[in-house]
Amino acid sequence: MPKMKTKSGAKKRFRIRPGGTVKCAQAFKRHILTKKSPKTKRQLRGMTEVHDSDVQSVMRMMPNG
């Protein structure tokens, strides 16, 4: 039986924390930043957790965690 491979796109975008939650980069910080306020851009820094409804699909893409 062949091994299950991790999706390379998911490998670059998500990290699974020891507790089982999944973290990812914050969205809406890539372009069209001139019309966004400094406060908005500041709050988009750092990582965030993947929504509960999407965790199962992320885990399926990353079988080796």
What gap in Å lies between CA 14 and CA 49, rounded to an integer? 9
- Tens-binned pLDDT, residue by residue, of the chain (65 aa): 899 999 999 999 999 999 989 999 999 999 999 999 999 999 999 999 999 999 999 999 999 87
Identify the pLDDT of residue 34: 97
Per-domain boundaries in the chain: 18-26+35-65
Identify the pLDDT of residue 32: 96
User: Are residues 4 and 64 in contact, defined by beta-carbon separation less than 8 angstroms?
Assistant: yes
Instruction: Enumerate the H helices of the chain as residue ranges.
Output: 8-13, 38-43, 52-61
What gap in Å lies between CA 27 and CA 40, rounded to an integer? 12
Cβ contacts of 53 within 8 Å, gap of 6 or more: none
